[in-house]
Amino acid sequence: MSTGSEMRNACIVFKMVFTCCEPFGRYMHMTTTIGNCQDPMLWCKDLMPHALGNFSIAVVQANSQMEDHSQVESGSYGTFVGIYDGHGGPEAANFVNDHLFKYVLHLAEEQGEMSTDVLRKAFKATERAFSDVVDTLWHTMPRIVAVGSCCLTGMISGRNLYIANAGDSRAVLGTSTQTGSIIAHQLSAEHNANFEDVRRELKDLHPDDSNIVTRKDGSWRVKGIIQVSRSIGDIYLKRPEFFREHPLSWLPLQEPLKRPVLTAEPSIAVHMLQPQDKFLIFASDGLWDNLSNQEAVGIVHKYPRAGIAKRLIKLALQLAVKKRELRYSDLIKLEPGIRRHFHDDISVVVLYLDTDSISKGISPDFIPMSVKGGIDNLERPCGSLAFDAANAYP
Count: domains in the chain: 1
Question: Quick count: other Cβ atoms within 10 Å of Cβ 85?
Answer: 28
Kindly state the percentage of the chain with pLDDT values over 90: 74
Kindly state the helix (H) or strand (E) to which residue 346 belongs, with its residue range: strand 346-352
Please report, for residues 20, 297, 374, the alpha-carbon distance to residue 69 in angstroms, rounded to integers and kept in the order given.
11, 22, 8
What is the structure's pLDDT at 6? Answer: 41
Q: What is the mean pLDDT of the chain?
A: 86
Average pLDDT over residues 353-367: 87
Query: Which residues partner with 182 through β-bridges?
Result: 176
- C-alpha distance across the termini of the chain, in Å: 25
Higher-scoring residue by pLDDT: 8, 41? 41
pLDDT value at residue 106: 97
Residue 68 lies in a domain: yes
Q: Is the pLDDT of residue 388 over 70?
A: no
Rg (CA), the chain: 20
Cα–Cα distance for residue pair 342/321, rounded to 1 Å: 6
**The pLDDT of residue 36 is above 70:** no
- The DSSP bridge pattern shows strands 219-222 and 213-216 to be antiparallel
Please check whether residue 301 lies inside any domain of the structure.
yes
pLDDT score of 247: 66
Q: Is residue 207 part of a domain?
A: no
pLDDT top residue among 154 and 257: 154
pLDDT per residue as tens digits for the range 280-292: 999 999 999 999 9
Tell me the sheet residues that pair with 43: 59
Determine the Cα–Cα distance for residues 170 and 283; give it in Å rounded to an integer.
6
Helix (H) or strand (E) holding 98: helix 91-111
pLDDT of residue 386: 33
Q: Does residue 203 lie in a domain region?
A: no
CATH number at residue 83: 3.60.40.10
390 pLDDT band, cuts 50/70/90, is very low
192 or 375, greater pLDDT = 192
* 140: containing domain: 24-192+228-391
What is the tens place of the pLDDT at every residue in 53-103? 999 999 999 998 999 999 999 999 999 999 999 999 999 999 999 999 999
Q: In this structure, is residue 197 part of a structural domain?
A: no
Domain assignment present for 306: yes
Give the mean pLDDT of 357-374: 88
136 exposed, middle or buried (CB, 10 Å; 0-12, 13-18, 19+)? middle
**What distance in Å separates the CA atoms of residue 392 and residue 125, rounded to the nearest whole number?**
7
DSSP 274: -
* Residue type, position 79, single letter: T
> Does residue 387 sit within a domain?
yes
Average pLDDT over residues 324-349: 93
Whether residue 239 lies inside any domain: the answer is yes
> At 149, which amino acid appears?
S
Nearest to 162 by CA among 119, 110, 209: 119
32-36, 51-55, 83-87, 169-173: segment of lowest average pLDDT: 32-36
How far apart are the C-alpha atoms of 311 and 346, rounded to whole Å? 12
Instruction: Look at residue 163 and give its three-state secondary structure.
Output: strand
Q: Contact, 28 vs 45, CB < 8 A?
A: no
Q: What is the pLDDT of residue 365?
A: 87
Between 123 and 32, the more confident residue is 123
pLDDT band at 251 (very low <50, low <70, confident <90, very high): confident
- Check whether 33 has a pLDDT greater than 90: no
